[in-house]
Amino acid sequence: MAEETTANSKNQPKYKRIVLKLSGEALGDRTAGDTISGEILQRIALEIKKVHDLGVQICLVVGGGNIFRGKLGAASSQKVDRTTGDFMGMMATMINGLALMDCLEKNGVPVRVQSALHIEEVAEPFILRRAIRHLEKGRVVIFVAGTGNPYFSTDTTAALRASEIGADVIMKATKVDGIYDADPVKNSGAKKFDQITFIDALKNQYAVMDSTAFSLCLDNEMPIIVFDMNESDSIRRAVMGETIGTLVC
């Protein structure tokens, strides 16, 4: 009986409630000129479905950089006011969130979108207890419009929402397969870390998240897994506790 229990535990997810952070750029295809690629959306949706089918409670936080990024807009020749630009970026996250919702639902995954800005015709307002109830009912919850405040990134949103809902981990999907001691593109000898501490990440200034988001994770002891979203089965493997990407804890 003991051996059977151990075998069953190995087949159970290590993390029961997660926040998956996706960049807006991850949804686009620059080669094809698509701001939102249907093919990429489908691939992401199927990866999320694998994890959802394991019974894992999933929240998504998606950026809007494929459409508009407030900080860059303020620095561009157009000189968009930073506050205005950030609100434009929040609206972009809504577009991405609705696209993810539509694709997930077409693949049989129930979804609710909650927004920090009130646009009740297309999304529920963010209400913590309601979000947790959705998770308990097996629905994926997509948080859009950031925190509802300018000057805060979607990384900060992920850190804040993860802390609020009592997530086990933040999974940050990127274009690289973890954190290195140097830029792996420029330095072929760069060393990849399987695991590092928050203190080491801070001391060596590794670009895990922006400082506000990282401080929230540090203060609330919220682990972060940085991994390559383009690697097949990566989300499921991370959820199951396999060594993938880099764990910051």
Is 227 annotated to bind ligand?
no
Is 151 annotated to bind ligand?
yes
Is 183 annotated to bind ligand?
yes
Q: Quick one: DSSP state of residue 122?
A: T
Is 228 annotated to bind ligand?
no
Is 153 annotated to bind ligand?
yes
Is 35 annotated to bind ligand?
no
Is 180 annotated to bind ligand?
yes
- The beta-strand segments (E) located in 177-238 are 179-180, 192-193, 195-196, 224-228
Is 21 annotated to bind ligand?
yes
Is 243 annotated to bind ligand?
no
Is 143 annotated to bind ligand?
no
Is 69 annotated to bind ligand?
yes
Is 206 annotated to bind ligand?
no
Cα 57 vs. chain centroid, distance in angstroms? Answer: 14
CA distance 222 to 140: 20
SS (H, E, C) 38-87: HHHHHHHHHHHHHHHCCCCEEEEEECCCCCCCHHHHHHCCCCCCHHHHHH
Is 148 annotated to bind ligand?
yes
Is 23 annotated to bind ligand?
yes
As annotated, the binding site for ATP includes 21-24, 65, 69, 174, 180, 183
As annotated, the binding site for UMP includes 64, 86, 147-154
As annotated, the binding site includes 21-24, 64-65, 69, 86, 147-154, 174, 180, 183
